[in-house]
Structures are given as C-alpha cells and as structure tokens.
C-alpha cells in the first residue's frame, strides 16, 4: 500500500467525492491541480467531462497549457484544446451564446439574448449608458418614486452600483417580484437587529479608586455622539438618541422601521428589471448580467442543465468567487450515483477582492453553504440530487517558496492592529490560521526582515527605497539561491534588479517610483493598471475637445496653456481676457486659435481629431495608442457626438486599463499588492505603509445599500422643516450603518498577508508616516525601525541597456483648484418653501431643469452652429423662435465662466448671452410652468450679471429670464 504523507499527493490521488482544499501561499497548488487533472484522465475520463474553472483568462490559459504537457496517451491534444478549462465568465458567455437566447423570459422580459451581444467592460462607459436610461426611466416614473428621486438628486451611479451588487448576490428582479422570493431579504431581520442593539448598548464601566466602578459612555454611544456633533438632520435632533452613557432604548424600534423602505424596494426592483430589458434591447450585456442569465438558463432549463453538467469539477482560487458563482457551479455538477466529484482549492487568507463582491465565506462556510444552496436550488423542484453532507478537507502543509523565517512572520500579519488599540478577535484568527506552513526550501541563512522609516515626506521614502535597492544589488552579502524541481540547490548568485519587487497599496506610488527610477538611472518597470483618461495625454485631448465645443472655455485653456509653458500670471491674464474674444479682441495665442479651427474643420471625424491632437505633441506610445483604441471603440457604437465624447472621457477618468509601459528587460518591478497575487520574488519591499493608505481607511457607503440585518436601505432623505427643506442623510440609515457595516480591516490584513508571502528571502517595509500596520508589525516582531539608513544610490552599470526607447510614465492629473458653482453660492439646496408639497415642487423643478439642461445644452450648441434641429417638441419650437427674435449682433450659448471672487473661483454656465451695440444681455431659460420661484431665479441671474459686468466694465448689462413653457420673458 502506498503511504501518502503529503497532502498534495492525497489531493492528486483522491478523485471522487467533494474536497475542500486549503492551499496556502506557495504550496504548489496549480501543480497539484494539474496532476489531479491528469490522474482523472488516466482513470479513463474524457477531458470533455472535466470542468476546470479559474478566475482569470491568463490562469485558464496557463492551466490548459500545463495540462497538455505530459499528456496521457489516452487522449489527444485537440481534446484538451476543446476541454472546458476556462474562467467563470467565459463559461457563462458560452452557455448564453449556445443556449441562452430565451433566458430573459425567466424574468418576464420578452427581449432575446442574441449571440452577438457586446459586453460592456468599462465602468465609465456603462455608467454613461445607464445615465441615459436613468433619465428616461425617471421621466416615466417620477410621480411614483418622487421620494426616491428627491433624495437621489440625480446620482444615478448609486443605482447602477446596487444593481450590479445585487446581481452578484444572486438577487434578481422579475416582472412583478423577485426571483426565488429574494425580495424577502430586503425588509431585514428585526430580531437580529434587536439582539445587536441590546448587545451594542450594554453599559460599559470604568474602575474608579474611590467609588468602585462607574458607568462610562459605551462605544455605541460614542459613535452616535460623534454623528451628533458632525451630521445634521433637518427634521430630527439626533442628540435625542443620547441618554446618559447609552443610546436611548426608546428609539430602538423607530430606528429599524423606516416607512420609505418599501418604496425603495419597489423602485429598486422596477429600475433593475427595466435596465436589464434596456440592455438587451441595445444588445449590450455587462459581466453581472451574463452570469445572471447563464444561471437562470441552467436553473430553469433541465435539458441545457444536463448538457452542461460535468462528471468532475475543479475550481481554483475559490476565495475569489461570489455567491452566484457558487450556486452556478453546483448546477453544473453531475450526479454520479448520488455523489458529486468536486474539488475547490483556495486560501481564505488571500481573499482580497471583497470590493468586487467575492466572499471568503464561500470557503470558510463551505459545508454550510453547500447545504444552504442545495435547499435554495431545490426550492420548487429537484435540481441538486447529489449528497452534500460529506466534505473531505485537505490542508497543504509544505511551502516551496519562502524561508521559514518569513513563513513564521506571515502569521503575525493577520493579527496586526489596523488602528490603535483595535478590539479585534485575533484568537479566532489564530485558530483559523492553523499550522504555519513548513518551508521546503532551505533559505534561512539567506533571509532578512527589516523596517525602514524615513523623514516625513514621500520623497524621502522613495529615496530610502532606491538606497535599499542599490544596497541589495551592490553588496555581496545578498545572495539569491535557486532550486531545481527536486528542491536541490541549483545556483547561488548576486541579486539582480528583476529579483526585486516594490509593492504598494496604491497604483499612484508605483507610478511615482517608476518615474523617479528613470531619473536615477535605476530601471523600474510598472506592473499595474493605468487610469488612462487621467493621463496628461488624455487631459490634453479632453481640453481640446472642450475648446472645440466652446472657444472661451477657461477650464479647457488652462491645461493647453500649461503645456505650452505659459506661467501662471500669463495664463491668468489670458483667461481674464476671454471677455474680448466675445467681441473683437482676444489674448488667446493665435497658434491655439488656428489649431482649434483646424480641429473644428475635421470634427465629423472624432477619431482623426484625437489623432491630430496627439500628433501635435508628438505623443506616440502605448498610452496614446490605447487612447485612440478606446475612443475608436466608443465612436463605433452609437455614442458619437462631440458632447457625448467629452462626457464619456470625463466619466472614464477613474477607469483603469492594462497598458504595458514596461520596456526595460532587467528592472525592478513595482506593482500593487492586489496585482502581485500569485507571484513571487526573492526580494519584496513593501513600501508606502503610511497612515490612511495601508491600512486604507476609506469606506464608501453607497446611497442605496444592502446589509443582511437592516435589509435594503436608502441613505438620503428629502427633509422639510419650517421654512426649509434639503437633502439630508437618513438618520436611521446612518445609525444602522454604524451598527452593522463591518470594518474592512480584516481584508486589509489579508492584503498584508498576501504582500508578505510573495517574498522568498528578503522582506523590507518602508514608510514616511508610519501607519498602525507598520508600527504594530514592527512591535509584534520585536524589530526597531531603522531611521538613519544611508547608502549611495548608484546604478549597477553606468548605462542601462533598453530593448527599445524608454517610455516615460504618464503624468497623473493635478488636483484641480477649488471651484464653486453658482448653485453653491446661492445655497440652492435650501429653498424658501413653507410646506412639504411646495418644497418638493421646488426641488422637482430644479432637478427637472437639470435633465432639461442636458437637452437644451445640445440644442443651443446646434443652433449656434446653425445645425438643423428636428423636433416636434413645443418648447424647442418656442426656444427657436425666441432666439431668432433677439436680433443681437452676436449670440453665445452655454457660456462657461470662471470668475474669481475673494479666494474662490466660481464656475457656472450661462444659457445665452446676446451682444448688442450698447449693451449685453444675459438670458436664462426656465422650464417651470409658473413663476413661483422667480425671486430665487433673480438671484441666479443677478450673479451672472455681476460676472459679465465685471468683465465688460464699460458696457451696460441687462438680464432676462425666459420661461419657455409660459412663453414669457421677464427682465431682471
């Protein structure tokens, strides 16, 4: 009998049944999966019956490649090539294309899923698509969901985010309810709430020498007190929640019961459902909907389900799956005589994609979830027939990457305090962690862990990083030891640049390192993703496009003039001289006007426009071609106008793209911890361990959020009291967030674990403003941070040999100066209405005006360019007539202005300016059907007049308000 002392062997050789495999960092996971795959084939199973799922395309390709090496004689290569070795989304897309054309009907949607749908990959793009849909939907349903729209204040992105979130949780809308009655989840669980409330609100005591113990403020009280001092709720005094040292229990019930919740649930269902329908009509799908529709197909269509069921299934990186993917997987497992053959392999300690809705509970609660989902999937009909009670657990014990010193150290990372005196359950963590992996590589004579603290500036920290790199490269004591497959020492050699990886929590720091490396002649490659539309190339493209739209756009001129190397006083002069452009003279350099005119001449071809702009500056590298590529993609869809392109670039600034700006062969690599997952290096320098960066403290709560205990909630509320009304936070939601939103520090700690376990031999930490992680980790391991590290930064060789020319790192966008809108200035949020209905009416008028403004903007632009406007819309006809009757010398529409006042810059847009011989007239359109709020509008136009008066000091300035609906003009 063969003894299998090694758990890796156990997995590779046990083929039948359900296996949950805890495969820590560097335990040879992929290798074992391939061995197991080959063993299954050896046992006579066809590759077509073995499902192998990973999370990324790359990983799937690699697995497929490895599977073809040492292939069994029983199969041929073509069989492997066609085998289902892929990632979740590719699998779902395949199901949809082959068998999913009717899948939307399960939600009560008539639209078909065509086989040539376009997948929207880019959030910025989808957000734009969604914006258009949202405005349409809002118009149609305003009266029904007025409460929501008033609170939402056109923040459509919040709605899109909650839709995508719900889809990954397996919560889908149907025409008149929710799939699998998931809507029941939304009302929350009051009993759990009550328990939590009591638990949080238990009295806390402090020991006192004189009188024994004394009650002090409990943590719940402190949180509310904090909110009370910083938040403002118009119709509720949150101080009333505070009794002595505790939260007033009289409010217990009231906090949970929110009478707008049911409307929010219905709104969410309605817009979610309609959006799916809208996307299908446009032949679009996003990744969430692909999985959703594939799941529904398998769920409802027995034939298709049987077709896609596999005898053997394996999933790699199981900690990166979300809830719906787990369920989808269960539907694809074939019942083999009442048993399932499934192996999921992963490591909860490396679950770092929570923001993408992946959940490590899929591993930690694996057995429970199997049972729970089996029940869910069998709710109305038997779908899962195999037994899920018997789960075999395997834990890999050996590590083939790091020194034992580093492995021992890695355990500390999960017990590191993220903030001072953090109360976290580190005991449970300790238990879960289990045994420390045993090193199978003899490296402990060549290993080191140190902490370096620089002076308090980012530049000083970057200095330290480069000093350390120089030391590592030039000092003989640092040696890289390499091993062969059997674990025998193959080579010992000095360190090379490419042995070193500088990790950071943020992309930004990596980019700075890369740039600095160029200046110091130390080769550094950036291995992360780029905010393409925040690069200086994109900023210039956007600036020129804006200038094409409006030649007096100061915001557009600034980056252009900066690039032409005008200094600040000169730029200010030119911008303040924009007034003359409207008449005869201008300070704008002639060259810029000429180039703008040239661009306007080819504006029918926006791709050429972009190309021309990039050529002007000689931009010709990976960044510029990525820009052209992406814009080309947009133009080929239906979003083609200049205005829309500008909007799209604007909303894509935060989207990241994988762009290769690495051009040097032998270089230090710098990347984010997230992107380094799965990689290994002899040296890891974990940099930028600074306060508020790592651990990161930012936590955005969506305006609409879902948490299991409180259910679906809305953070905003349109509140009215006495003479005022404004959009406030919903105080009940705020309290519930404080009660139930989990700290995400556990995930930050796992990120720390991932970073540390990348290192084979040498591990260093750097910081200039030490975060709690840096401090506490040094403390836990008894290391004193080195504060006076010196080493001369020298490149190893004088000249770095590059494969091709070095591409400079793209500049990041500069922080823009503080701008204030006219609306800020008017303090528009506070209206002078005296009752709720009136206040709502004011608000409705102003938000409607916003929607309308989009239309008017385009229209005004077209009229100014004498483009024919086809519309039967009464208002547009009236507007046309109104404009033609003005008989001015010159008209300017949608004039953006920047107007310095005190220490602020006011930004605004004037609908229309008419120039006459003796005067200038400022005109503002209003779509209201009455003149109730005339006084308010007068203030607004008054500000516009001030602005214009200040620019044209020698001319009279008049103002008019044109109520389009009433067809009435009023002088102001």
Q: Which residues bind DNA (CB under 7 A)?
A: 55-58, 87, 89-90, 121, 123, 206, 216-217, 222, 225-226, 229-231, 245, 287, 352-353, 355-356, 419-420, 505-508, 528-529, 656, 658, 671-672, 674-675, 690-693, 696-701, 715, 729, 734, 741, 743, 772
Closer residue to DNA (CB): 743 or 851 = 743
- In the complex, minimum distance from the CB of residue 33 to DNA, in angstroms, rounded to a whole number: 17
Residue 700 Cβ vs DNA, minimum distance, rounded to whole Å: 5
Nearest-angstrom CA–CA distance, 901 and 912: 22
* DSSP β-ladder status, 711-714 and 704-707: antiparallel
Of residues 129 and 543, the one with the C-beta less far from DNA: 129
Q: Cα-flanking dihedrals φ and ψ of residue 961, to 5°?
A: -115, 130
- Please name the residues in contact with 482: beta carbons below 8 A apart, sequence gap of 6 or more: 489, 490, 491, 492, 493
Nearer to DNA, 58 or 243 (CB): 58
Query: 586 or 733: whose CB is closer to DNA?
Result: 733
Least Å from the CB of residue 394 to DNA: 26
Nearer to DNA, 52 or 914 (CB): 52
Three-class SS state of 875: helix
Q: Is 544 or 768 the residue whose CB approaches DNA more closely?
A: 768
913 backbone dihedrals φ, ψ, rounded to 5°: -125, 130
Q: How far apart are CA 153 and CA 844, in angstroms?
A: 10
Considering the complex, state which of residue 404 and residue 757 has its C-beta at the smaller distance from DNA. 757
Rounded distance between C-alpha atoms, residue 684 and residue 679, angstroms: 11
The encoded tokens of residue 845 equal 């008028």
Q: Given the structure tokens 């008989």, which residue do they identify?
A: 887
For residue 693, the minimal CB distance to DNA (Å) is: 5
Give phi and psi for 795, each to the nearest 5: -70, 150
Query: What minimum distance in Å lies between the beta carbon of 760 and DNA?
Result: 22
Alpha-carbon distance of 308 to 779, in angstroms, equals 53
Say which residues have a Cβ less than 8 Å from residue 216's Cβ, sequence separation at least 6.
204, 205, 206, 245
Q: How far is the CB of 505 from DNA (least distance, A)?
A: 6
In the complex, least distance from residue 6 CB atom to DNA, rounded to whole angstroms: 31
d(CA 550, CA 538): 18
C-beta closer to DNA: residue 357 or 610: 357
Shortest CB 462 distance to DNA, Å: 14
CA nearest 184: which of 269, 125, 250, 102? 269
907: CB partners within 8 A, 6+ apart: 555, 819, 820, 821, 822, 896, 897, 898, 899
Least separation in angstroms between residue 336's CB and DNA is 29
Comparison of 35 and 512: residue with beta carbon closer to DNA: 512
> Residue 790: how many CA atoms within 13 Å on its side-chain side?
1
**In this complex, which beta carbon is closest to DNA, that of residue 90 or of residue 263?**
90
Q: Which is nearer to DNA, 35 or 732 (CB)?
A: 732
Q: Which residues, listed in sequence order, are joined to residue 205 by a DSSP beta bridge?
A: 215
Query: Does residue 201 sit in helix, strand or coil?
Result: coil
CB 215, min distance to DNA, A: 8
User: How far apart, in Å, are the Cα atoms of 29 and each of 69, 505, 748, 849, 958?
Assistant: 17, 25, 24, 58, 75
Tell me whether residue 156 or residue 505 sits nearer to DNA (CB atom): 505
What is the nearest approach in angstroms of DNA to the Cβ of residue 564? 30
Q: Rounded to the nearest whole angstrom, what is the least distance from the CB of residue 441 to DNA in the complex? A: 27
| Strand partners for 727 | 718
At its nearest, how many Å lie between DNA and the CB of residue 25?
Answer: 17
Residue 681 pairs with which residues in a beta bridge?
759
Residue 909: phi, psi to the nearest 5? -130, 125
Q: How many residues does the chain have?
A: 972
- What is the DSSP secondary-structure string of 594-639? HHHHHHHHTTT-HHHHHHHHHHHTT--SHHHHHHHHHHHHHHHTT-
Return the number of the residue (121 or 455) whose C-beta is nearest DNA.
Answer: 121
The Cα–Cα gap between 728 and 830 comes to 11
Encoding tokens for residue 138? 């809002």
């Amino acid at each position: 009998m063969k003894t299998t002392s090694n758990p890796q062997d156990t997995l590779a050789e046990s083929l039948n049944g359900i296996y949950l495999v805890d495969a820590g960092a560097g335990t040879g996971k992929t290798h074992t999966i391939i061995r197991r795959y080959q063993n299954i084939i050896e046992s006579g199973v066809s590759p077509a019956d073995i499902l192998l799922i990973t999370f990324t395309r790359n990983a799937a390709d690699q697995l497929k490649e490895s599977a073809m090496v040492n292939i069994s004689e029983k199969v041929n290569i073509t069989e492997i090539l066609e085998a289902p070795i892929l990632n979740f989304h590719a699998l779902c897309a395949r199901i949809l294309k082959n068998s999913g054309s009717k899948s939307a009907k399960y939600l009560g949607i008539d639209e078909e899923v065509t086989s040539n749908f376009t997948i929207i990959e880019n959030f910025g793009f989808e957000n734009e698509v969604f914006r258009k849909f949202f405005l349409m939907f809002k118009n149609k349903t305003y009266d029904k969901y007025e409460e929501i729209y008033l609170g939402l204040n056109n923040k459509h992105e919040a709605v899109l985010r909650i839709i995508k979130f719900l889809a990954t949780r397996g919560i889908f809308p149907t025409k008149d309810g929710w799939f699998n009655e998931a809507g029941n989840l939304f009302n929350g669980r009051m009993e759990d709430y009550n328990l939590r409330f009591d638990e949080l609100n238990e009295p806390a005591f402090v020991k006192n020498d004189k009188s024994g113990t004394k009650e002090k403020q409990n943590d719940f009280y402190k949180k509310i007190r904090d909110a009370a001092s910083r938040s403002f709720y118009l119709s509720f005094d949150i101080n009333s929640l505070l009794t002595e040292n505790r939260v007033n229990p009289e409010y217990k019930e009231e906090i949970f019961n929110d009478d707008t919740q049911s409307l929010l649930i219905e709104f969410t269902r309605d817009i979610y459902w309609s959006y799916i329908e809208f996307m299908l009509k446009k032949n679009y799908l996003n990744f969430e909907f692909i999985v959703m529709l594939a799941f529904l197909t398998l769920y409802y269509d027995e034939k298709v389900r049987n077709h896609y069921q596999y005898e053997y299934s394996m999933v790699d990186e199981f900690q990166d799956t979300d809830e719906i993917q787990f369920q989808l997987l269960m539907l694809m497992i074939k019942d083999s005589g009442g048993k399932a053959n499934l192996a999921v392999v992963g490591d909860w300690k490396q679950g770092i994609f929570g923001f993408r809705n992946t959940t490590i509970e899929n591993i930690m609660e694996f057995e429970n979830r199997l049972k729970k989902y089996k029940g869910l999937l069998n709710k109305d009909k038997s779908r899962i027939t195999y037994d899920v009670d018997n789960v075999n657990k395997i834990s890999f014990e050996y590590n083939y990457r790091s020194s034992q010193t580093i492995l021992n150290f890695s355990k500390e990372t999960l017990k590191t305090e993220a903030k001072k005196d953090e109360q976290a359950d580190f005991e449970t963590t300790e238990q879960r962690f289990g045994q420390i992996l045993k090193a199978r590589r003899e490296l402990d004579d060549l290993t080191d862990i140190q902490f370096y603290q620089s002076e308090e500036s980012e530049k000083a920290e970057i200095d330290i990083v480069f000093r350390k790199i120089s030391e590592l490269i030039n000092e003989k004591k640092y040696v890289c030891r390499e091993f062969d497959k059997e674990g025998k020492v193959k080579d010992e050699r000095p360190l090379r640049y490419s042995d070193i990886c500088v990790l950071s929590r943020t992309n930004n720091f990596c980019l700075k390192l890369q740039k600095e490396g160029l200046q110091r002649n130390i080769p550094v490659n950036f291995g992360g993703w780029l905010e393409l539309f925040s690069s200086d190339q994109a900023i210039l493209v956007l600036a020129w496009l804006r200038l094409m739209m409006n030649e007096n756009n100061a915001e557009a001129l600034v980056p252009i003039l900066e690039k032409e190397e005008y200094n600040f006083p000169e730029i200010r002069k030119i911008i303040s001289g924009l007034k003359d452009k409207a008449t005869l003279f201008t300070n704008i350099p002639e060259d810029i006007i000429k180039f703008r005119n040239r661009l306007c001449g080819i504006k029918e071809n926006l791709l050429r426009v972009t190309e021309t702009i990039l050529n002007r500056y000689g931009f010709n590298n990976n960044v510029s071609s990525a820009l052209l590529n992406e814009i080309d993609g947009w133009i080929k869809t239906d979003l083609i106008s200049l205005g829309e392109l500008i909007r799209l670039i604007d909303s894509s600034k935060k989207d990241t793209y994988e762009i290769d700006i690495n051009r040097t062969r032998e270089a230090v690599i710098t990347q984010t911890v997230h992107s380094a997952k799965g990689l290994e290096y002899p040296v890891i320098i974990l940099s930028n361990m600074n306060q508020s960066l790592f651990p990161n403290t930012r936590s955005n709560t969506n305006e609409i959020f879902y948490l299991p205990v409180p259910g679906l909630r809305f953070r905003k509320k349109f509140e009215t009291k006495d003479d005022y009304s404004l959009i406030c936070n919903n105080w009940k939601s705020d309290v519930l967030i404080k009660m139930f939103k989990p700290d995400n520090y556990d995930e930050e700690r796992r990120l720390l674990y991932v970073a540390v376990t990348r290192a084979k031999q040498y591990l260093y930490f750097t910081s200039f403003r030490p975060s709690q992680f840096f401090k506490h980790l040094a403390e836990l391991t008894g290391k004193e941070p080195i504060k006076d590290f010196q080493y001369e930064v020298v490149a190893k060789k004088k000249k770095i040999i590059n494969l091709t020319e070095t591409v400079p790192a793209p500049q990041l966008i500069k922080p823009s100066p503080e701008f204030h809108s006219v609306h800020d200035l008017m303090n528009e949020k506070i209206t002078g209405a005296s009752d709720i209905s009136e206040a709502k009416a004011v608000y409705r008028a102003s938000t409607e005006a916003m929607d309308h403004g989009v239309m008017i903007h385009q229209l005004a632009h077209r009229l100014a360019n004498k483009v024919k406007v086809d519309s039967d819309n009464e208002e547009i006809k009236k507007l046309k007539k109104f404009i033609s009757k003005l008989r001015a010398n010159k008209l300017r529409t949608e004039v953006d202005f920047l107007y310095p006042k005190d220490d602020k810059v006011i930004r605004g847009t004037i609908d229309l300016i008419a120039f006459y011989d003796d005067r200038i007239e400022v005109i503002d359109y209003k779509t209201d059907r009455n003149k109730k709020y005339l006084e308010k509008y007068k203030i607004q136009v008054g500000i516009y007049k001030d602005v214009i008066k200040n620019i044209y000091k020698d001319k009279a300035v008049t103002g008019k308000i044109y109520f389009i609906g009433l067809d009435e003009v009023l002088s102001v």
